[in-house]
Amino acid sequence: MDQAAQWWESDGGFFGDLYKEADDSKEGHLNSPQALAERTETEINGVIELTGLQPGGAVLDCPCGYGRHSLALAEKGYQVTGADINERFLTLDNEELSHRQLPNCRFIKQDMRHIDMPGQFNAIINMFYSFGFFDSDQENMEVAKNFYNALKPGGKFLMHTHVTVPRLVSGKLLNYQMRNLASGNQLELYRRYNKETKREDGEWFVVSPDGIKKALTPYSVRIYTPEEYTAMCKEAGFSGVEYYGDWSGSPYTDDSAQMIAVAKKD
């Protein structure tokens, strides 16, 4: 019998058209509502500022999903490679890339655990809660090592998440939410933190106005504390990690709504 696909794989059932619809909520994922285009602009400007990315620099966006960060960076003149394992997203990415005519951007199919592009990038970005997908810490460590190897000397690896241990444990990150989607449907979201596995387990449903639910495959992500994440990055070869609580560069605290970690390769 074939082994069932992992939730994050191309045919795993979480990432695809339903996810793209669910990501475009009127409220966004933070306490201060932002439409998706506005959120993308805020995030990209933050990426440029916090990594010190110079005009025309080379960026790897991995995983790039349906390409909103890659395309936005390319429109600002950066040399962008978007990498993802999801074939549906890559199709959407290339369709949008053809429409926008951005020769400084490309999309490739790539598993984060097997990236082999030594010394090519000034910055690598891992956006919106995309680190810790894999079952073992060793697999997640391989991702960090691959990112380190893919950076040029002086390059930065930025990892961004809004899911942190303090907010999960305190309940400030709600276990249940309903979000209004731009499509007219709603996103129904459930999450729970397992203190033994150190993972967040969750479920998403896209709900139509007449109550019909379409379920995405349940997901599970390893949540790292700053101490654990710093140790992993240093083992991967990074000289140090700086933490921010928002895209304007405020220091990270346990109350921060986001954790943005920037690791440097000397």
pLDDT at 29 over 90: no
Phi, psi (rounded to 5 degrees) for 153? -55, 135
pLDDT digits (tens, 9 = 90+) for 189-241: 999 999 999 999 999 999 999 999 999 999 999 999 999 999 999 999 999 99
Q: Long-range CB contacts (< 8 A, 24+ apart) of 5-12?
A: 7/217, 7/218, 7/219, 7/220, 8/85, 8/133, 8/219, 9/85, 9/86, 10/85, 10/86, 10/87, 10/88, 12/217
pTM over 0.95: yes
pLDDT digits (tens, 9 = 90+) for 99-109: 999 999 999 99
The torsion of the CA quartet 243, 157, 40, 168, rounded to 10 degrees, works out to -50
pLDDT classification of 2: cutoffs 50, 70, 90: low
